[in-house]
Structure 1
Amino acid sequence: MLELTGVSRTVPHKRGTLTVLNEASFCVPPGHLMTVIGATGSGKTSLITLLAGHDAPSQGAILFQGRDCAVEAPHPNSIGHVPASDDVLCEALTVRESVMSALMLRVAGQSREERVARASHLLVGTGLETAATARVGTLTLPQKRRLKLALALVSDPALVLCDEFTDGLDARSERELAALLKFVAGDHPARVVIHATQTVGNLAAYDTVVILHEGHVCFHGPSRAVTHYFSIPAMDELYPRLAKRPAERWGDSWCRHRDSYYEAFKLGGLGEPATSLGDEESAAARKAGAGRTGFTESRTAAAAPEPPPLPSATAQARHLMLRRWTLMRRTRAQWLRHLGVLLLCPAAAVLLVLPNRGFLEKLSADAGPEVLWPAAYTCMMALWVQILLVLMMAVRAGAREIGGERPLYERERAGGLRLGAYLAAKLGFVLPLVLLQSLALGVLADMLTGGLPGHALPRLLLLALTGCAFGCLCLGISACSADAGRAHSRAWMLFFFNLILAGALLGFPRVLGGVIHPFITAYHGWSGSVETLRDTAVFEPVTRLVRTWFATPAQAMWALGGHSLVGVLLAWFGLRNRR
């Protein structure tokens, strides 16, 4: 049983606080299908968010299966949340793969055969068995709604919350999905299904209706009583009728009539509800009722089976990592872009070095300025261009990685996905990708040009560490951004910040450079690489071309490791905050 008592929710507002839900009180018994209807801004989504445990009520109590949710949060597998957005689906997976993925992230201890059997059962139950092998991106809108419901049901939850599940559909699809929700409500001994919607055309399919208006509960009861209570000829007149009075007055009116209506329709389970609104109901409405929540204490809740345990964080991370690599392999445009970066960036570095290769070949201890200075400039710029190319690779790999699938992450997080598992999976995708591209850039550039003077191995390690550090920073920016577009633009801003300030450091006094350089990823990768030229003839000319301080390779590696840690912590902080 689900019971709300005086539940309110206030949020910050430019003029103080705004009450989006005002003292909502009602009760929903097991096996019950209830709809919450109201116009945009009435508080439906806020109510669903509170019931799902994503937010805490400002006051009041939510009791689920006899436990106060504020004291003992329900197990993630006891709640199935169906969000309104279709962005929570992964379009490159098939329908069956999506359900199998949800099972691997939410339910532990199942063999592959058991997962396949459970996935098949869910697909049949939600009417998706004929679309099991279709890509999610090719599904129709009603099919996507069915898939979201199937994903919410993988753990056999006792509470199913649907937000705008039938909104925007044709009348036939709306009826079919409402009937599907009714089937879902009766398929579990202790299940409660709540559907928040704006549509009022199919209310007869639900056991009871809660009507919200600007955060106030204006009615709770069977749908056939709505027209009588609001004195309207048809349900289409509900919203115009609500607009004629302030929400506070509707809420106060319902508080006065609530108990008598509960008694009239016998919502406490003491008998069959009345079939009409005649004299007997009018007499019953004048009696004291069953209480504030609408169900008497004599109603016995069905025993709810224990929810299945969650997989370990390691198992979740491993599955997410494999899924991400599968998605890249399956998305042609994505892997073609990464392949292009892998091939074109070394070519750009080679084009810079080859025209001046003759100066590098003439280097010797007694070489004249006509050789030393061009060779020094070539080495310095070649290292700088390689660092910039690595930063561009990191932006391409990490900037959109979390921001582009934020709704998907939030859905899976609500189902028990651990933050650490998700972050580890993202690092397991971005870092190897950047590492591969960075090493390919350094190795291919050296092979095609004959290499720069100095120690090649530390230089190659610095190139790879620079890419990993900037990839972590881009991943952190992506986690702190609301969408992929903002994450991408912010990552490029960081790139140009590195480009401008690192270039400016070449002419800054050493005192000023010492204040700025700790914050510039590109500087550490470049200066450490320049330091590998110390035992060569070009190092002295380089130190005269620029006025900045050069970090040793070891110092640069430590600094880049610190930047990587900052990026990981930023990603952790961003993923903790719900969006």
Structure 2
Amino acid sequence: MLELRNISLTLERDGESQALLDDVTFSVPTGHLLAIVGPSGCGKTTLLKTIAGLKEEDNGEIRWQGRNLAEDGDLHPSELGYVPQFSIAHDLLTVEECVASAVALRTRQADHESAWAVVEQVMKQTGLTTLGDRQVKVLSGGQKRRLGLALELVTNPNLLLCDEVTSGLDPKSEREITQLLHDLARQNDKRIVINVTHSLTNLSLFDTVLVLHEGRVVYHGPPRALNHYFSVEQAEDIYPKLARRSAERWGDSWARHRDSYYKAYKLAPAEEVPFSDAKIVENREPDRIKLPSAKALTDEDESDLKKQKESDKDSANKEPEEEDSWGKHKKNRDKKKAAEEEEENKKHHKRHEHDVEVDAPHRLPGVFAQTRELLRRRWTIFKRDRSQMWLQAAMLFGFPLLVVIFGFEGVPQVRQMSVRQDANVLLDIKEQIAHRASLLKAGGIVSGLVLMQVVLVTLMASNNAAREIAAERDILERERLGGLRAISYLLSKILFLGTFVLAQALWMGLFVEMLCNGIPGDLVVKLVLLVMASASMTAVCLGISGLMRSPEKATILSIYLVGFQLPLSGAVLTLPKVIEPFVQPFIVAYWSWSGSLNTMKSTSFYDGVKAITSTSLEPANLAIFVLSIHLIIGLTLAYAGIKKSQWD
């Protein structure tokens, strides 16, 4: 049983409070298919996300199987399935691979055979068996909706929430998906299926329909009574009719007539039985009792509204028991009952104060099991993305060649000064000028080659990480709701991107070293600094990607970050002494560049480097330490971004 009691949710917008949900109360028994319908913007998706725990209500309580979710913890990932409006899956994976990945990330299976048994069962259940080898990108809209359902059914959830899964489909596909939802509700007598939809067709397949209008419940009952309540010939006429009156008036009207409909269609028991014990009798004809007339709901002018008010008063006098059920006298009695129930529930929860028990196959896999699956899946996607592979190859081999072009003739040697005393002053001056010129030339080439390596490595790092999280944000949100750990996701990204960090940085350093006949300084330290520059920029851009909702915004911000590396490094133009101490700590290129040049202290090239710049050159160990701080900060931001819910 799912129960919502007086749920309200308010949003502050432009300094004003806007009620998204207003005193929403209803219950749904198990083995039941409920449709939540209403005009656009009435709060359907908000209500569904509130049930799922993606949004937190301001007032009221949600109970699942008798326990208060706010006090006793959210639903276990195995209990809940949430199917968003559009299918969320990787385009380059096949249907079978998507389902298999969901099984690996959300369940613990004894062996490979049992895991594939679940995959085959779910695909058969959703009609995807013949589509197993097709990539997601070639599926039709209806097939993608079936896949979205399949990804949630791997844990056999008892509460399946579907958000507009039939929107945008042709009539045939819409009915097929609705029929599938109907079958899913019937296949498991412990399951509740709730489908949010704007469409009013195929309502006969639902057990009950909940109509929302501006965040208020204005009807909850069987679809066959819908037209009677709103006094319309066709269900499609309901939305225009809702617009004729305020949501408050519709809500008040339903509050007055709710008991009569519940009694007539056995949606609620007699007054003596708690509302939470309500049962729904499928296809049962209503009892022969007087139902509220829907004629009153068609009034549009002031005179008719006045008549309706008088009619309501007369009805209240004639039928006090019905009015009292939601009137003042009944409220006092309900408060007393609610207090007694709450006390009993507290005693019950004290006796059962532990985590929700689930069987072994539904327990979440361990951190490393999830990490391994995510990493395997990411490499599969990378290998199938031809454009990305060509881009990586072009950067891996093209960027080092770009550096080598400027040092293909090798690093020039610094002209040495003569140690003998020459009586010819002019020759001595010429020798000093030549020495100075060779010093500047060698220092400029060495500094430029090192800086180009660093900047190009950071550019590759930005390209690798900028879209890594933001581009699959929707998939991440769905999988986190299903039990994916943030640390597992982050570890998979570290391992995946770490491969590119090592390959690109080491290849850049070694390739340039070989073709430029050796750049002065300690090769090992220079390689470490290149790797650290790549790793720290990768981490920072990964953090940006985790915090941004849009991959385009993440990419632009990361590109700007790399673009500032060259001018702010101080290698080309020296920064003013006033701002240099405040800027340099944040510039990756500065630390890798200055640390590499500092390793040349024992060579004559160091004087040449110092001659062309007045920027201080930091020791390599300090540079590595600062870059490590950048790395840690970037990964921390990435983890925070992964943990933060960013559902649309």
Given the two structures, how large is their TM-score scaled by the length of structure 2?
A: 0.84
Distance 2:81 2:390 in 1: 37
* Cα displacement (A) at 1:291: 7.5
Specify whether residues 478 and 513 from structure 1 end up closer, same or farther in structure 2 by C-alpha distance, changes over 3 A only: same
1:540 aligns with 2:607: yes
- Partner letter of residue 15 of structure 1? G
Identify which range, 22-31 or 328-337, moves more after superposition.
Answer: 328-337
Distance 1:305 1:129 in 2: 32
* Cα displacement (A) at 1:510: 4.5
Structure 1 residues 515-551: Cα deviation after superposition (integer angstroms, max 9, x where no partner)? 2211111111111011111111111121121111111
> Percent same amino acid at aligned positions?
38
- Partner letter of residue 81 of structure 1? Y
Task: Determine which of 334, 359, 363 is the counterpart of 1:309.
Answer: 363
- Partner letter of residue 27 of structure 2? C
Specify whether residues 469 and 167 from structure 1 end up closer, same or farther in structure 2 by C-alpha distance, changes over 3 A only: same
Query: Secondary structure of 1:353's partner?
Result: coil
Query: Secondary structure of 1:71's partner?
Result: helix
- Partner letter of residue 275 of structure 1? E
- Partner letter of residue 463 of structure 1? L
Structure 1 residues 274-306: Cα deviation after superposition (integer angstroms, max 9, x where no partner)? 5369765569x96649978xxxx9xxxxxx983
Contact 1:48 1:196 in 2 (8 A): yes
Query: Secondary structure of 1:561's partner?
Result: helix
Specify whether residues 364 and 217 from structure 1 end up closer, same or farther in structure 2 by C-alpha distance, changes over 3 A only: farther
Structure 1 residues 156-213: Cα deviation after superposition (integer angstroms, max 9, x where no partner)? 1110000001111111111111110011111223100000010001111100000011
1:520 aligns with 2:590: no
Query: Secondary structure of 1:70's partner?
Result: helix
Given the two structures, how large is their TM-score scaled by the length of structure 1?
A: 0.94
1:359 aligns with 2:443: no
1:157-196, aligned counterparts within 5 Å? Answer: 157-196=157-196
1:66-105, aligned counterparts within 5 Å? Answer: 66-72=66-72, 73-86=74-87, 88-105=88-105
- Partner letter of residue 552 of structure 1? P
* Cα displacement (A) at 1:372: 1.7
Specify whether residues 448 and 252 from structure 1 end up closer, same or farther in structure 2 by C-alpha distance, changes over 3 A only: same
Identify which range, 460-469 or 446-455, moves more after superposition.
Answer: 446-455
1:415-454, aligned counterparts within 5 Å? Answer: 415-454=482-521
Distance 1:27 1:63 in 2: 9
Structure 1 residues 141-161: Cα deviation after superposition (integer angstroms, max 9, x where no partner)? 100000000001101111000
- Partner letter of residue 321 of structure 1? L
Distance 2:40 2:285 in 1: 32
* Cα displacement (A) at 1:373: 1.4
Q: Superposition RMSD on alpha carbons, in Å? A: 2.1
Identify which range, 118-127 or 450-459, moves more after superposition.
Answer: 450-459
Query: Secondary structure of 2:187's partner?
Result: coil
Contact 1:264 1:274 in 2 (8 A): no
Match of 1:344 in 2: 398
Specify whether residues 31 and 573 from structure 1 end up closer, same or farther in structure 2 by C-alpha distance, changes over 3 A only: same
Distance 1:436 1:163 in 2: 43
* Cα displacement (A) at 1:16: 2.8
* Cα displacement (A) at 1:433: 1.0
* Cα displacement (A) at 1:504: 7.3
Distance 2:281 2:517 in 1: 90
- Partner letter of residue 84 of structure 1? Q
Distance 2:641 2:187 in 1: 38
Match of 2:31 in 1: 31
Distance 2:99 2:557 in 1: 34
- Partner letter of residue 213 of structure 1? H
Contact 1:525 1:556 in 2 (8 A): yes
Task: Determine which of 258, 269, 287 is the counterpart of 2:279.
Answer: 269
Specify whether residues 402 and 364 from structure 1 end up closer, same or farther in structure 2 by C-alpha distance, changes over 3 A only: farther
Contact 1:263 1:289 in 2 (8 A): no
- Partner letter of residue 378 of structure 2? R
Distance 2:642 2:614 in 1: 41
Distance 2:400 2:325 in 1: 75
* Cα displacement (A) at 1:443: 0.7
* Cα displacement (A) at 1:68: 0.6
Distance 1:184 1:220 in 2: 21
Identify which range, 193-202 or 257-266, moves more after superposition.
Answer: 257-266
Specify whether residues 237 and 529 from structure 1 end up closer, same or farther in structure 2 by C-alpha distance, changes over 3 A only: same
Specify whether residues 337 and 363 from structure 1 end up closer, same or farther in structure 2 by C-alpha distance, changes over 3 A only: farther
Query: Secondary structure of 2:195's partner?
Result: strand
Structure 1 residues 292-348: Cα deviation after superposition (integer angstroms, max 9, x where no partner)? 8xxxx9xxxxxx983521001111111111111111011111111111110101101
- Partner letter of residue 403 of structure 1? A
- Partner letter of residue 394 of structure 1? A
Distance 2:592 2:561 in 1: 15
Contact 1:263 1:290 in 2 (8 A): no
Match of 1:253 in 2: 253
Match of 1:413 in 2: 480
1:129-148, aligned counterparts within 5 Å? Answer: 129-148=129-148
- Partner letter of residue 456 of structure 2? L
Distance 1:420 1:518 in 2: 28
Query: Secondary structure of 2:55's partner?
Result: coil
Distance 1:245 1:223 in 2: 22
1:485 aligns with 2:552: yes
Match of 1:300 in 2: none
Distance 1:65 1:499 in 2: 61
Which has more radius of gyration? 2
Contact 2:591 2:626 in 1 (8 A): yes
Distance 1:266 1:358 in 2: 90
Specify whether residues 238 and 277 from structure 1 end up closer, same or farther in structure 2 by C-alpha distance, changes over 3 A only: farther
Distance 2:282 2:83 in 1: 31
Match of 1:376 in 2: 443
Query: Secondary structure of 1:551's partner?
Result: coil
Specify whether residues 305 and 463 from structure 1 end up closer, same or farther in structure 2 by C-alpha distance, changes over 3 A only: closer
- Partner letter of residue 350 of structure 1? V
1:240 aligns with 2:240: yes
Contact 1:182 1:205 in 2 (8 A): yes
Distance 2:188 2:358 in 1: 12
Specify whether residues 129 and 273 from structure 1 end up closer, same or farther in structure 2 by C-alpha distance, changes over 3 A only: closer
**Alignment: residue pair count:** 565
* Cα displacement (A) at 1:578: 1.3
Contact 1:20 1:215 in 2 (8 A): yes
Match of 1:6 in 2: 6
Specify whether residues 388 and 305 from structure 1 end up closer, same or farther in structure 2 by C-alpha distance, changes over 3 A only: closer
1:385 aligns with 2:452: yes
Contact 1:510 1:549 in 2 (8 A): no
Specify whether residues 410 and 245 from structure 1 end up closer, same or farther in structure 2 by C-alpha distance, changes over 3 A only: same
Contact 1:210 1:217 in 2 (8 A): yes
* Cα displacement (A) at 1:388: 0.7
Distance 1:281 1:211 in 2: 19
Distance 1:468 1:428 in 2: 11
Contact 2:94 2:135 in 1 (8 A): yes
* Cα displacement (A) at 1:429: 1.0
Contact 1:400 1:488 in 2 (8 A): yes
Unaligned runs of 5+ in 2: 268-277, 294-314, 327-340, 342-355, 419-433
Task: Determine which of 386, 398, 411 is the counterpart of 2:465.
Answer: 398
Structure 1 residues 11-54: Cα deviation after superposition (integer angstroms, max 9, x where no partner)? 22112322111111000001000000012211011111111111
Contact 2:86 2:145 in 1 (8 A): no
- Partner letter of residue 486 of structure 2? L
Specify whether residues 271 and 342 from structure 1 end up closer, same or farther in structure 2 by C-alpha distance, changes over 3 A only: closer
Query: Secondary structure of 1:508's partner?
Result: coil
Distance 2:369 2:98 in 1: 17
Distance 1:30 1:578 in 2: 29
Structure 1 residues 328-385: Cα deviation after superposition (integer angstroms, max 9, x where no partner)? 0111111111111101011011001114x2624x665768223221111000111111
